[in-house]
């Protein structure tokens, strides 16, 4: 009987998640949860942007050779207050992807979904072309030491109110965050960037997941067993990610 109790003690906390599924942040009040083939997002109709997008990334997903068609379209699962491509015309912002199509090279459908306007956010060109892309490339390198990464990204809504662009009044966030979790190696790291920086470097933008939860008000990995969640979210060790000043 004692062995049975021990077994239940160990297994019950882990029943809320599966390492082969996407780890989702806590649901946000009055937001719409939208599930696509390879990522899930929480859509805020007030800001006309997602508060978070979550997905699992593997080496196989970035090594595919599917042809990319850059066709921006409305998300068919959003029927109220959706951004449009023309909202970005004649502005100083470009259409950045929270889930980059380069992370979805395994599937034509997954690539096409990254061009849904629900995955698009307004970013300054200097920030997008350097810091945001640099972090994506670093993430691909980190896959060399693990089997999968869990990623969450989005704008920092607590900085609002914001200015807007276009007839659909797409909000203009001041900052963006991105979190990378490596369960195999029991580590996680987060980043927050100003939507303007171009050369600050990843190290100076890195922080613990706990810190990003404090800034955003989002609980990122509630389905993990508490012991694992507390460890990986509190720890901040850039050396584990080979980040340098």
Asked if 135 and 94 touch (Cβ cutoff 8 Å), the reply is: no
Mean pLDDT score of the chain, rounded to an integer?
A: 91
pLDDT at 185: 96
pLDDT at 102: 97
pLDDT (average), residues 116-122: 98
User: Domains, the chain, ranges and CATH?
Assistant: 19-59+124-236 (3.40.570.10)
**Does pLDDT of 172 surpass 50?**
yes
pLDDT tier for residue 44 given thresholds of 50, 70 and 90: very high
Taking the CB of residue 138, how many other CB atoms lie within 10 A of it?
16
The reported pTM is: 0.91
pLDDT at 242: 87
- Please compute Rg for the chain using Cα positions: 18
The burial of 188, by beta-carbon neighbours within 10 Å (0-12 exposed, 13-18 middle, 19 or more buried), is given as buried
Measured CA to CA, the distance from residue 193 to residue 206 in angstroms comes to 9
**Does pLDDT of 11 surpass 90?**
no
pLDDT at 19: 58
């Amino acid at each position: 009987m004692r062995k049975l109790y021990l077994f239940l003690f160990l297994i019950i906390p882990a029943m809320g998640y599966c390492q082969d599924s996407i780890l989702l942040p806590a649901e946000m009040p009055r937001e719409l949860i939208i599930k696509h083939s390879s990522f899930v997002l929480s859509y805020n109709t007030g800001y006309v942007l997602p508060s978070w997008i979550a997905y699992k990334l593997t080496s196989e997903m970035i090594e595919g050779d599917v042809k990319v068609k850059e066709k921006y379209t409305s998300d068919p699962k959003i029927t109220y207050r959706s951004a449009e491509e023309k909202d970005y015309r004649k502005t100083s912002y470009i259409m950045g992807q929270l889930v980059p199509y380069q992370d979805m090279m395994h599937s034509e459908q997954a690539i096409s979904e990254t061009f849904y306007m629900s995955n698009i956010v307004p970013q300054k060109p200097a920030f997008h072309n350097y810091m945001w892309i640099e972090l994506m490339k670093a993430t691909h390198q980190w896959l060399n030491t693990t089997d999968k990464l869990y990623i969450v990204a989005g704008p920092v809504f607590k900085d609002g109110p914001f200015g807007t662009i276009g007839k659909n009044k797409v909000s203009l966030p001041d900052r963006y965050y991105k979190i990378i979790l490596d369960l195999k190696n029991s580590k996680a790291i987060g980043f927050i960037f100003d939507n303007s920086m171009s050369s600050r470097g990843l190290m100076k933008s890195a922080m613990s997941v706990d810190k990003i939860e404090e800034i955003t008000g989002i609980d990122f990995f509630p389905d993990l067993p508490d012991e694992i969640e507390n460890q990986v979210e509190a720890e901040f060790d850039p050396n584990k990610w080979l980040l340098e000043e």
